[in-house]
């Protein structure tokens, strides 16, 4: 009877040990979770225009927390506009960029605050003038030598909160400018991505004349601003 009980206990102990060993082996052989399995970080978007989108795109690609920048058109009446349509200045659209960013790294407020450093938000002609043989009425938007409504300063919001942030940032930035800030702040009705050849233009066309004469200097100046504010991507330093 004693031997029988001892054998029974020994069997139970062996079964328990075998079960534990099997569980351990299965756990050790299970594939480890990879970064690809983790849920993607939540991102937000902002849509802004500050003159030629080649410039603003190149500038914001340097900003820490920015995941993606798409050049495009917004604020006009023409559906599915082409670059040729935009260049007429008659579609009502502005050249803009749509920024996808990680709000855990950079906030919308910081995105907008940097906007005032990226371009001149006060630039409109003060009197009627003729430029390149074309009459430009007083109040015509421009950036550098780029004149026309398509180069106007603009922020397009998608919510009341975005509107509130944009207006507050504009009001705070006004003290840094002698002339009134002329930036349009309006709801985003539709964003149209520009043609493929406009995307990442600076990086893909480093020797293009406009890039070397305009985009490079503006981007380099903005880069220094980002460095001073600690907002530059490590890879861009």
Give the tens place of pLDDT for each residue, 149-185.
999 999 999 999 999 999 999 999 999 999 999 999 9
Phi, psi of 44 (to 5 degrees): -125, 170
Residues 6+ apart with CB under 8 A from 179: 122
The residue ranges of the chain whose pLDDT is under 50 are: 1-2, 4-36
185 in Cβ contact with 163 (< 8 Å): yes
Number of domains in the chain: 1
The reply to whether 222 falls in a domain is yes
Q: Is 55 a catalytic residue?
A: no
pTM of the complete model beyond 0.85:
no
Q: Which of 48, 50, 51, 52 is catalytic?
A: 52
User: For residue 119, what are the domain limits?
Assistant: 44-236
The reply to whether 152 falls in a domain is yes
The reply to whether 223 falls in a domain is yes
177 in Cβ contact with 121 (< 8 Å): yes
Q: How far apart are CA 140 and CA 130, in angstroms?
A: 11
For residue 215, give the DSSP letter.
I
The reply to whether 59 falls in a domain is yes
């Amino acid at each position: 009877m004693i031997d029988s009980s001892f054998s029974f206990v020994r069997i139970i102990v062996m079964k328990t040990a075998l079960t534990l060993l099997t569980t351990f082996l299965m756990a050790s052989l299970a594939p480890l979770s990879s970064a690809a399995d983790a849920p993607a970080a939540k991102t937000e978007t902002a849509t802004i225009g500050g003159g030629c989108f080649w410039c603003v795109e190149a500038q914001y690609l340097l900003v820490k927390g920015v995941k993606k920048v798409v050049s495009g058109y917004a604020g006009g009446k023409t559906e599915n506009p082409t670059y040729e349509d935009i260049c007429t200045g008659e579609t009502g659209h502005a050249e803009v960029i749509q920024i996808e960013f990680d709000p855990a790294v950079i906030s919308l407020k910081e995105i907008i605050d940097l906007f005032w450093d990226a371009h001149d938000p006060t630039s409109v002609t003060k009197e009627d003038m003729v430029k390149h043989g074309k009459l430009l009425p007083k109040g015509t938007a421009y950036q550098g030598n780029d004149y026309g409504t398509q180069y106007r300063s603009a922020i397009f919001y998608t919510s009341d909160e975005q509107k509130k942030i944009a207006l507050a940032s504009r009001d705070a930035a006004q003290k840094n400018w002698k002339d009134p800030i002329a930036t349009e702040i309006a709801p985003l009705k539709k964003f149209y991505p520009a043609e493929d050849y406009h995307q990442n233009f600076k990086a893909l066309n480093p020797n293009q004349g406009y890039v070397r004469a305009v985009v490079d200097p503006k981007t380099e100046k903005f880069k220094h601003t980002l460095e001073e504010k600690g907002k530059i991507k490590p890879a861009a330093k």
